[in-house]
C-alpha cells in the first residue's frame, strides 16, 4: 500500500495536480463515498434531525458532497489550499477553513453535533520539523483536546484512517482518551486484505457502546448502509422540491440586494461592474 | 464561503489566548449573497449555540439590521427568515478577522479563512 503521508507534507503532496487527480479518479470517489456513508452510520445521529457537522481534513469535498445530499449542514477544514480550491470549484455548501488540525481548533464549546474524518488521521503521525510543537504526540493532544471541546455533549466523532502499526493505534487511542473521549476501534471486514477498513469511533459524554464492525468481504453488506441512507436522501429531496438549491449568482438578484445594502448605509458594498454575478476563479 | 453561522462559533486558537478571544473582529469585508433553502428546524436547533450579541454586532457591521438586540422568545416566521438570511445567505468572500485579545489576524481570501498559526503561536 502506498503511503502518501511518508512522501511529503500534506499541503505539498496535495498540490494542484494531485488534488485534481485525486478528486477526478472515479474509483477513489467510490471508496471515499462508501467510507463516508459508513462513518455517518457510525455517528448514529438522531434520525430526521438537522445537524451541524465538522469534516476534518475535508479535502476537495468528496465527503462534503454526500453531507450536502444527506441534508446536513457542515464546516470543513483542510491544510492543503489546492484541495480546498477544488472543493470551491465543485461548489460544496459547507464553510471551508484553511487549517492545520495539529495546531488545534478555536471553535467554541459545543459547536458541532458530530464530526467525521475520512483518510486523514495517519497524516498526524509524522513529525515535519524538529520543533516541539510538531511532534506527533503534541499535535494529537492539541487536536483531540480542542476537538473534544468543540463537540456537543453527547456526540461522536468518527475517523476512518490507515494506521501502519499497533503502536500508532495505541498512541492515538491513549491521547484521545486523555482528551476526554471514550470509544474505540471499529474494524470492518477484518479478514479481508482488500476490504478491511479501520474506524476510530470516539464519543463525548460517555454512554453508548462502540458499534460492531462488519463481517465478510465487503461485497454484500454494503447494500444495507447505502439503502438506509438512500431513504433519507429521498426524504431530503422531497423536502427541498427540485433537489439542489438555486445558486443565486443571478446578476439581477445580486444588484437588487446590493442596492438594498447601500440603502441601509453599508459602506463596503462592492461597485457594480460587468463582473458582478460572474463566477469567480479560485486563487490563493 | 465563511458565513456568520461559523464566524459566530469561532474564537482565537493562538497559544495562551483563552480569554476575551471572541468574537473575531471583521475587517474590510466583501460579501456575496447566495440564496439557500429555508430550514426552520435547523435554525431552532442552532439557536442555543449562538452568541446572540456577537451575531447582531456582526450582522449590523455587514449592513443587516433585521435582528433585534435581544434574542426574542417567540420564534415567528419573520424572525426565522431574517435569522436564516443572516446566518446562511451572507458569504464573506474577502477581508480578515482579528482577535480582540492577542490581535492575531486571520485573513479571508476567496471565502476561505486562513487559520494557520506561526510556530511561536501554536499552543
Ligand atoms: C486522502 S485525503 C482525504 C480527503 C477527504 N477527507 C476525502 O475523503 O476525500 C487526506 C486529506 O487530509 C488533509 N490533511 C492532512 N494533514 C492535515 C492536517 N494536519 N490538517 C488538516 N488537513 C490535513 C490533506 O490535505 C488531504 O486533503
Q: Does residue B92 sit within a domain?
A: yes
Chain B hits for A266, CB-CB cut-off 8 Å, are 62-63
Query: What does the block give as the cell for B62?
Result: 455587514
Q: What separation in Å is there between the alpha carbon of A282 and the centre of ligand 1?
A: 19
Q: Does residue B123 sit within a domain?
A: no
Q: What separation in Å is there between the alpha carbon of A63 and the centre of ligand 1?
A: 11
Number of cross-chain residue pairs from A and B with Cβ atoms under 8 Å apart: 120
Residues 6+ apart with CB under 8 A from A35: A118, A119, A160, A197
Q: Does any ligand 1 atom lie closer than 6 A to the CB of residue A145?
A: no
A11, A125, B28, B114 from B61: Cα distances, Å: 34, 42, 10, 21
Q: What separation in Å is there between the alpha carbon of A55 and the centre of ligand 1?
A: 10
- In this structure, the residue with its CA closest to atom 9 of ligand 1 is A62
If interface means Cβ-Cβ distance under 8 Å, which residues of chain B face chain A? Answer: 1-3, 5-6, 9-13, 21-22, 28-37, 39, 41-42, 45-46, 49, 51, 62-65, 109-117, 119, 122-123
Which tens digit of pLDDT belongs to each residue from A131-175?
Answer: 888 899 999 999 999 999 999 999 999 999 999 999 999 999 999
Please report the sign of the dihedral spanned by the C-alpha atoms of residue A120, residue A122, residue A128, residue A130. positive
Nearest 5°: phi and psi at A263? -60, -35
Q: How many Cα atoms occupy the beta-carbon half-sphere of A254 within 13 Å?
A: 21
Q: Does residue B121 sit within a domain?
A: no
DSSP states of B72-121: PSS--HHHHHHHHIIIIIEEEEEEEEE-TTT--EEEEETTEEB----GGG
Say whether A105 and B65 touch across the interface (CB within 8 A). no
Whether residue A64 contacts residue A55, with contact meaning beta carbons closer than 8 Å, is answered with yes
Among A3, A78, A162, the mutation site with the greatest number of ligand 1 atoms within 8 A of its Cβ is: A78
Query: Of the candidates B10, B36, B63, which has its C-beta nearest A261's C-beta?
Result: B63
Identify the residue with better confidence: B20 or A224. Answer: B20
Point out the ligand 1 atom lying closest to the alpha carbon of residue A83: 27
Chain A: give the shortest CA distance to residue B5, in Å. 9
Phi-psi group of A189: left, alpha or beta (phi > 0 → left; psi -120 to 50 → alpha; rest → beta): left
Chain B hits for A84, CB-CB cut-off 8 Å, are 112
- Give the mean pLDDT of A19-30: 97
Please give the Cα distance from A104 to A215 (Å, whole number): 35
Point out the ligand 1 atom lying closest to the alpha carbon of residue A100: 20
Which tens digit of pLDDT belongs to each residue from A175-216?
Answer: 999 999 999 999 999 999 999 999 999 999 986 788 999 988
> Which CATH number belongs to the domain containing residue B94 in this structure?
2.20.25.10
Query: Of the candidates B21, B35, B62, which has its C-beta nearest A266's C-beta?
Result: B62
Can you give the pLDDT at residue A234? 52
Can you give the pLDDT at residue B59? 98
Q: What separation in Å is there between the alpha carbon of A46 and the centre of ligand 1?
A: 27
Can you give the pLDDT at residue A244? 41
Instruction: Name the CATH superfamily for A4-218.
Output: Vaccinia Virus protein VP39 (3.40.50.150)
Domains of chain B: total: 1
- Give the mean pLDDT of B10-14: 98
Where do the H-state alpha helices sit in A25-120? 26-43, 62-69, 81-89
Q: Where are the domains of chain A?
A: 4-218
Q: Does residue B19 sit within a domain?
A: yes
Mean pLDDT computed over every residue of chain A = 85
Whether residue A248 contacts residue B35, with contact meaning beta carbons closer than 8 Å, is answered with yes
ipTM above 0.90, yes or no: yes
- Using alpha carbons only, what angle is made at residue B44 by residues B38 and B49, rounded to the nearest 5 degrees? 115
The structure's pTM equals: 0.86
DSSP states of A144-181: HHHHHHHB-SSEEEEEEE--SSHHHHHHHHHHHHHTT-
Q: A245: which DSSP letter? A: P
Which tens digit of pLDDT belongs to each residue from B45-92?
Answer: 999 999 999 999 999 999 999 999 999 999 999 999 999 999 999 999
Query: Range of B58's domain?
Result: 2-114
Can you give the pLDDT at residue A218? 78
Amino acid at each position: 500500500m502506498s503511503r502518501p503521508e511518508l512522501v511529503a507534507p500534506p499541503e505539498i503532496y496535495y498540490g494542484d495536480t494531485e488534488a485534481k487527480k485525486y478528486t477526478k479518479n472515479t474509483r477513489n470517489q467510490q471508496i471515499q463515498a462508501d467510507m463516508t456513508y459508513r462513518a455517518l452510520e457510525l455517528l448514529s445521529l438522531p434520525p430526521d434531525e438537522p445537524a451541524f457537522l465538522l469534516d476534518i481534513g475535508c479535502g476537495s469535498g468528496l465527503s462534503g458532497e454526500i453531507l450536502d445530499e444527506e441534508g446536513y449542514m457542515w464546516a470543513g477544514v483542510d491544510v492543503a489550499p489546492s484541495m480546498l480550491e477544488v472543493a470551491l470549484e465543485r461548489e460544496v455548501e459547507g464553510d471551508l477553513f484553511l487549517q492545520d488540525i495539529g495546531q488545534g481548533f478555536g471553535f467554541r464549546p459545543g459547536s458541532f453535533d458530530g464530526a467525521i474524518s475520512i483518510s486523514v488521521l495517519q497524516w498526524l503521525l509524522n513529525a515535519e520539523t524538529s520543533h516541539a510543537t510538531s511532534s506527533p504526540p503534541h499535535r494529537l493532544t492539541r487536536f483531540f483536546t480542542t476537538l473534544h471541546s468543540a463537540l456537543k455533549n453527547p456526540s461522536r466523532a468518527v475517523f476512518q484512517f490507515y494506521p501502519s502499526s499497533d503502536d500508532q493505534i495505541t498512541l492515538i487511542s491513549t491521547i484521545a482518551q486523555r482528551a476526554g473521549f471514550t470509544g474505540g476501534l471499529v474494524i470492518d471486514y477484518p479478514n479481508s486484505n482488500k476490504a478491511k477498513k479501520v474506524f476510530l469511533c470516539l464519543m463525548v459524554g460517555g454512554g453508548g457502546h462502540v458499534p460492531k464492525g462488519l463481517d465478510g468481504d465487503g461485497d454484500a453488506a454494503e447494500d444495507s448502509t447505502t439503502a438506509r441512507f438512500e431513504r433519507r436522501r429521498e426524504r431530503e429531496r422531497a423536502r427541498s422540491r427540485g433537489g439542489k438549491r438555486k445558486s443565486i449568482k443571478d446578476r439581477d438578484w445580486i444588484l437588487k440586494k446590493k442596492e438594498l445594502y447601500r440603502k441601509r448605509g453599508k459602506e463596503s458594498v462592492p461597485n457594480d461592474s460587468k463582473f458582478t454575478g460572474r463566477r469567480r476563479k479560485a486563487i490563493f | 464561503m465563511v458565513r456568520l453561522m461559523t464566524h459566530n462559533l469561532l474564537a482565537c486558537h493562538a497559544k495562551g489566548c483563552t480569554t476575551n478571544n471572541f468574537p473575531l473582529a471583521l475587517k474590510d469585508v466583501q460579501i456575496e449573497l447566495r440564496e439557500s433553502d429555508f430550514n426552520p428546524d435547523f435554525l431552532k436547533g442552532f439557536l442555543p449555540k449562538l452568541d446572540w450579541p456577537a451575531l447582531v454586532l456582526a450582522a449590523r457591521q455587514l449592513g443587516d439590521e433585521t435582528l433585534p438586540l435581544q434574542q426574542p422568545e417567540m420564534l415567528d416566521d419573520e424572525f426565522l427568515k431574517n435569522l436564516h438570511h443572516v446566518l446562511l445567505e451572507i458569504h464573506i468572500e474577502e477581508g480578515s478577522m482579528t482577535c480582540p485579545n492577542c490581535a492575531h489576524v486571520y485573513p479571508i481570501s476567496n471565502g476561505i479563512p486562513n487559520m494557520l498559526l506561526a510556530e511561536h503561536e501554536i499552543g
